[in-house]
Amino acid sequence: MNISNIIFIVLFVLAISIFTYNLQKIISNIKLGKSINRSDNKKKRWFNMIRVALGQSKMTRRPIAGIFHIIIYIGFVIINLEMLEIIIDGISGSHRYFSKILPIYLYNFLIASFEVLALLVIIACVVFLIRRNLMNIKRFLSAEMTKWPKTDANLILIFEILLMVAFLFMDAADYLIQINKNENISGSFPISSMLVPMLDHYSYNSLYFIERFCWWFHIIGVLLFMNYVLISKHLHIFFAFPSTYFAKLKPLGELDNLTSVTNEVKLMLDPNIDPYSSQSNSTTNQERFGAKDANDLNRIQLLNAYSCTECGRCTSNCPAHQTGKLLSPRKILMDTRKRISEIGNNKRKGLKDNKSLLGDYITKEELWACTSCNACTESCPIELDPMSIIMDMRRYLVMEESAAPTELNLIFNNIENNGAPWQFSSSDRLNWKNE
């Protein structure tokens, strides 16, 4: 083992350690939410995860973006198989380790496949850069997509292009090195061989430097990318799978009852409990009706917030947003993620603030603009549910602050006084029912 192997092992362990530490912080943030039981219908949940997260079934609803995203997705998954060889080579000091243990025809096929996919990933990333920056697509121009979100999306695409280019130049230099050594060629290089005219005038030492530089650039880039993902919208690479597994299986229009309300009703209907007893008060006072802050939401909702791809399909399909209202379902998820991250960081530092998700991040106007049509959830490529966050925050406004719009308060009063949403006395019900 030489010095380069030691350096590689140190960098690899350091990158994995930082990744694990930061991932645990995100998981601890999610656990700040209320626990929720979504362990039912396991077969259906597994099928949903395989169909939506692994099979990308909802991406092709917008064919152009969907096809290019699938190319990047497949390229990301398959090309990373090549990372296994790089890691083994980095630790052991071997060179193209799999060429020595796999049949040469299989190894050649794998390398050729990696190169074709690398080229397709480069093309897809260039297309996405053009779409995001030159085509003025409305869903990429919303207020929440300025500054960091826009920069993040571009950085990811540029990062992927550089990694794929380094991979292809590494193969091209290695191909020439093997030719110069008069060795049997390990690997098939249909794409990188086209780069040979750019390199064949270099000396053997220069080619070796280029190959090693690209090798180190590629592996260090991947390790950096792995850690960068945790602070970017590309966290969905990991979290899309649990999000689709725990996605709502009930009809989208069916709302869940609040546990706090259910418990309150049970106490009211239980003749054996004194509503003024300490037992009753301690039970009801522990839970807030609805959600004012991010930690009032459940863990699936917080997982959804971290899983958001910021693609904007939910917002572009939202009828309220289309009519010019302030609501953007994508912003609801992004704001929830920002707030729960802030709460988690404050907790770890022993700090408190006077902020809340409601008011400091999401306004009442945004919440009441929602038509509860579920277009956002239906259009989301990984079945996130921003509407459930909106509904829980509305519940808080109505049940804790009595801050519903005038039209709703009129309906509530009619139901309370007349037993119906209309402004007719219950004693006259048979009269207006028959008209």
Average pLDDT, the chain: 88
CA–CA dist 231, 432 (Å, integer): 59
Residues 333 and 305 sit within 8 Å (Cβ to Cβ): yes
pLDDT, one tens digit per residue, over 109-122 is 989 999 999 999 99
Per-residue burial over 152-176, b = 16 or more CB atoms within 10 Å of its CB, e = otherwise: bbeebbebbbbbbbbbbbbbbbbbb
Lowest mean pLDDT among 5-9, 184-188, 286-290, 416-420: 286-290
CA–CA dist 388, 336 (Å, integer): 12
CA–CA dist 411, 422 (Å, integer): 7
* Segments in 37-103 forming alpha helices (H): 42-49, 63-79, 81-92, 98-101
pLDDT over 70 for what percent of the chain?
95
Question: Strand, helix or coil at 275?
Answer: coil
Q: Which helix (H) or strand (E) holds 284?
A: helix 278-285
Q: Phi and psi at residue 34, in whole multiples of 5°?
A: -70, 140
Ramachandran region of residue 301, left (φ > 0), alpha (ψ -120 to 50) or beta?
Answer: alpha
282 pLDDT above the threshold of 70: no
CA–CA dist 291, 392 (Å, integer): 5
Work out the widest C-alpha separation in the chain, in whole angstroms.
101
Please work out, in degrees rounded to the nearest 5, the angle formed at the alpha carbon of residue 104 by the alpha carbons of 98 and 105.
125
Q: Cα 385 to chain center, whole Å?
A: 12
Rounded to an integer, the average pLDDT of 361-379 is 93
What is the value of pTM for the model shown? Answer: 0.87
pLDDT, one tens digit per residue, over 101-152 is 889 889 899 899 999 999 999 999 999 999 889 988 888 888 888 888 889 9
CA–CA dist 221, 226 (Å, integer): 8
- State the pLDDT at residue 432: 62
Residues 317 and 379 sit within 8 Å (Cβ to Cβ): yes
- State the pLDDT at residue 124: 92
pLDDT, one tens digit per residue, over 389-418 is 999 999 999 988 888 888 888 888 888 888
> Residue 106: CB partners within 8 Å, gap ≥ 6?
none
Lowest mean pLDDT among 188-202, 269-283, 417-431: 269-283
Question: Strand, helix or coil at 99?
Answer: helix
Question: Strand, helix or coil at 298?
Answer: strand
